[in-house]
Amino acid sequence: MLGKAVLTLLLSSLPFLQLEAEGPPRPAAPPGSEFTEVTLPQSHKVEGLSLTPDFKVPLGKRFAIVRATTDKPEQKVKWLILGGNPGQPPEAVVAPSGKSVMVFLGDRPDRIVVLAYSATEKGPTEPAVCKITVEGKGPFPSDGGGAARPPAAPGARGAAPRPVTGRMHVTLVLDFGRQTPELAALRASTGLRNALAKAGCDYHEFNAPQAPPDMVSLLKAEGLAPPAAVVQDQEGNVREIAPVTTAEALLALVERARKGQ
The string of DSSP codes covering the chain is -GGGG-EE--GGG-TTS--S-SSSPPPPPPTT-S---------SEETTEEEPPPEEEEBTB-EEEEEEEESSTT---EEEEE---TT---EEEE-TTSSEEEEEP-SS-EEEEEEEE-EETTEEPPPEEEEEEEESSSSPPTTSSS---PPPPP----PPP----S-EEEEEEE-GGG--HHHHHHHH-HHHHHHHHHTTEEEEEEEGGGS-HHHHHHHHHTT--SSEEEEEETT--EEEEEE--SHHHHHHHHHHHHHT-
Domain residue extents for the chain:
2-15+39-135, 168-259
pLDDT of residue 139: 47
Give the orientation angle of helix 190-198 with respect to helix 247-259, to 10 degrees: 10
The count of residues in the chain is 261
pLDDT of residue 87: 56
For the stretch 154-195, pLDDT in tens is: 555 555 567 888 888 888 888 877 777 788 888 878 788 888
pLDDT of residue 70: 94
Highest mean predicted confidence (pLDDT) among 49-63, 64-78, 144-158, 216-230: 64-78
Mean of per-residue pLDDT scores for the chain: 76
pLDDT of residue 23: 46
**What's the mean pLDDT in 116-137?**
89
Taking a C-beta distance cutoff of 8 angstroms, is the pair 164, 260 a contact? yes
Q: Which CATH class is domain 168-259?
A: alpha beta
pLDDT of residue 51: 95
Q: Which numeric CATH code is attached to 2-15+39-135?
A: 2.60.40.10
Q: Give CA–CA dist 75/58, Å, rounded.
A: 33
Residue 19 has pLDDT above 50, yes or no: no
Closest Cα to residue 140, out of 106, 111, 170?
106
Residue 213 has pLDDT above 60, yes or no: yes
pLDDT of residue 107: 67
Percent of the chain with pLDDT over 90: 23
pTM, two decimal places: 0.52
